[in-house]
């Protein structure tokens, strides 16, 4: 009862609108016709979870960090809207991570969930501790997902012209719905710190 009440209070106090107002701009991440994307946090507090996200910008790059708590919903993310859709068939992402496996998200920005027809398209982003990396992610390899599980009802690839939101996520699940490696969370039932520096995102 105590845990359920705590989760309910967390959900009631969580405000996506406030998160959007507190968005931070990153000049090195440009998609569509939007030159400096404004990033806001969205974590499992929206469903009563205990994870927390802090995001800052420095020198145009975005730092996505915080604590992932596996006792709640088990996800943290930062997201940004952009206009004009995508005009290429791949994204190039430059980043420096902490050895954990993150996900890159794309969507039409209209929300998702088990009863929605708007999936989040996801691609895994494995990182190496302290190492700067650059990868090209073909849009055809992004997987449609609802609530951390792969959607079987959305055949084919995403439509680049429909995309209006990009994000980065750390979750209990990989893009195909399988469990994220245990090393990501240290120990189930605990909170683990994370840090991902996003140095650049562009179409290619």
- How high is the pLDDT of residue 4? 52
User: For position 48, what pLDDT does the model report?
Assistant: 67
Q: What residues in the chain have per-residue pLDDT under 50?
A: 1-3, 5-13, 113-115
> Rounded distance, CA 57 to CA 143, Å?
28
Specify the pLDDT at position 181.
80
Nearest to 68 by CA among 54, 79, 56, 53: 53
pLDDT of residue 10: 47
pLDDT value at position 128? 96
pLDDT of residue 19: 86
Per-residue pLDDT, 70: 80
Q: What are the Cα distances from residue 127, in Å, to 85, 94, 161? A: 27, 11, 29
Residues in the chain: 204
DSSP code at position 109: S
Which residue in 67, 79, 86 sits closest to 103, CA to CA? Answer: 79
pLDDT of residue 74: 82
Burial 68-106 (b: 16+ CB within 10 A, else e): bbbebbbbbbbbbbbeeebeeebbebbbbbbebbbbbbb
Please, which residues have CB within 8 angstroms of residue 52's CB and are 6 or more apart in sequence?
A: 43, 45, 66, 67, 69, 76
Task: Output the pTM of the full model.
Answer: 0.86
* Cβ atoms < 10 Å from Cβ of 159: 12
CA distance 174 to 69: 16
Domains, the chain, with CATH or none: 2-203 (2.60.120.430)
pLDDT at 114: 45
- Strand extents, DSSP E, the chain: 24-26, 37-41, 52-58, 61-69, 75-81, 90-96, 101-107, 120-126, 132-138, 143-146, 149-150, 165-171, 191-203
């Amino acid at each position: 009862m105590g845990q359920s009440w705590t989760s309910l209070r967390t959900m009631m106090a969580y405000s996506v609108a406030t998160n959007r107002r507190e968005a931070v701009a990153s000049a090195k991440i440009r998609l569509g016709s939007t030159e400096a994307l404004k990033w806001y946090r969205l974590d499992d507090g929206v469903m009563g979870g205990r994870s927390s996200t802090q995001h800052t910008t420095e020198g145009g790059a975005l730092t996505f960090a915080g604590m992932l708590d596996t006792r709640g919903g088990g996800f943290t993310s930062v997201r940004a809207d952009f206009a004009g859709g995508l005009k290429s068939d791949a994204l190039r992402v430059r980043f420096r991570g902490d050895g954990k496996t993150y996900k890159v998200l794309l969507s039409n920005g209209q929300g998702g969930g088990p009863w929605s027809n708007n999936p989040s398209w996801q691609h895994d982003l494995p990182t190496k501790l302290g190492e700067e990396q650059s990868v090209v992610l073909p849009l055809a390899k992004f997987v449609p997902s609802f609530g951390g599980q792969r959607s079987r009802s959305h055949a084919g690839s995403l439509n680049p012209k429909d995309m209006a939101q990009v994000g980065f996520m750390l979750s209990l699940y990989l893009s195909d719905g399988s469990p994220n490696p245990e090393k990501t969370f240290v120990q189930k039932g605990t909170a683990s710190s994370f840090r991902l520096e996003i140095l650049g995102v562009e179409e290619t």
